[in-house]
A = this chain, B = another copy of it.
Amino acid sequence: MATIREIAEKVGVSVGTASFVLNGKADDMRISKKTQTRVLEAAKELGYQPSLSARKLRVKGKEVPVIAILWTLDARTSLISRFLQGIQSKSTYQEGQFELLIQPYENGKLRELHALKTGLRFNGAIIANASDEDMHYLEQANLNLPIVVYQRHSKNYATVLVDSEKTGRDVAKKFIQNGHKQVSIVIPEVSSEAVALRIKGFLEECRVYQIEVDELYGDFSEAGGYAVTKQLLMVSPLPSAIFFLSDYMAIGALSALHEANVKVPKDIQLIGHDNMIATQFTIPTLSTVNLPVEEMAEASVNLLLKILRNAADPHEQLKFSSYILERESSSFE
């Protein structure tokens, strides 16, 4: 991490000269070739790395806010592409009004992310996939950094979310409406408020209508859904409907059921969650709950930008709505 001054000193030249050489303006400034090569060599030797900070500071009117997306290092990483797509599809991005930083963190270890406290890396953050512990830390830390929390409730920060409890109830209602008496819910092993609320809504509604529910757990992935279903196939009787809290898991289940020659939706009905594009092309097509990830992502960024320029309440709560998309996997033929 040498500075330009160190280079200048080593070569025995002024910092201005060194700067010109390192920026390719040496010829315009008529710096001799020998000096140029000597400067460049010194830079290489010392491992010179220009400081963006110093540059930005000097070049006026160029600094834009840095927005960080804090994303957990777990299976849900696969959803980040939709999040990014939501941000990018909009004009805001194109105009270069902000820089987008991806800041991964380990689930449950948000407190160890020093950048949240130092305020050196970003001007504001969107926190996705926060676990209970992470959220607890956040609420108690009371950071004075502008923050938008995605898919969780919060007292101290702005939020963007859907009514996950209602989602759960809606799916239960659909199952009840379709006449199911014995259903299962497959739960991914991730700590998430949204998941917990969906479960809560689903179970409550089932209780009200006295439907029997089995709770199953698996990895948040196709493989997880496949494994859970394989296990389920070994016991009997099979439930007549399953709610998967992740489309990926439901896709894995379709594969396992096909192998076992169990027909969907005739023998068993499935509903997934998230409305991943792939669900339109599975065999059979997969009913799912539409989660407006792209819209929420865009809203999160816009909200954060507004908060940054004091144009929005830092406690704003944006609510989106989800709805069931009925496709073949939950329809009677």
Contacts and interface: CB of A to CB of B under 8 A. Distances in A.
Contacts of A210: none
Contacts of A59: 118, 120
A222 B56 contact: no
Contacts of A282: 255, 282-283
Interface residues of A, number: 64
A100 B255 CA distance: 36
B57 A57 contact: yes
A65 B51 CA distance: 8
A15 interface: no
A104 B99 contact: no
Interface string A55-94: 1110100110110000001000111110011001100010
Contacts of A44: 310
A44 B81 CA distance: 34
Copies in the complex: 2
A102 B104 contact: no
A242 to B, nearest CB: 16
A4 to B, nearest CB: 13
Given A24-B144, A52-B121, A57-B51, A281 B226 contact: yes
Interface of A: 1, 24, 44, 47, 49-57, 59, 62-63, 65-66, 73, 77-81, 84-85, 88-89, 93, 96, 99-104, 114-115, 118-123, 144, 221-223, 226, 251-252, 254-255, 258, 277-278, 280-283, 285, 308-310
6 contacts: A51-B56, A53-B53, A77-B85, A99-B121, A278-B278, A283-B283
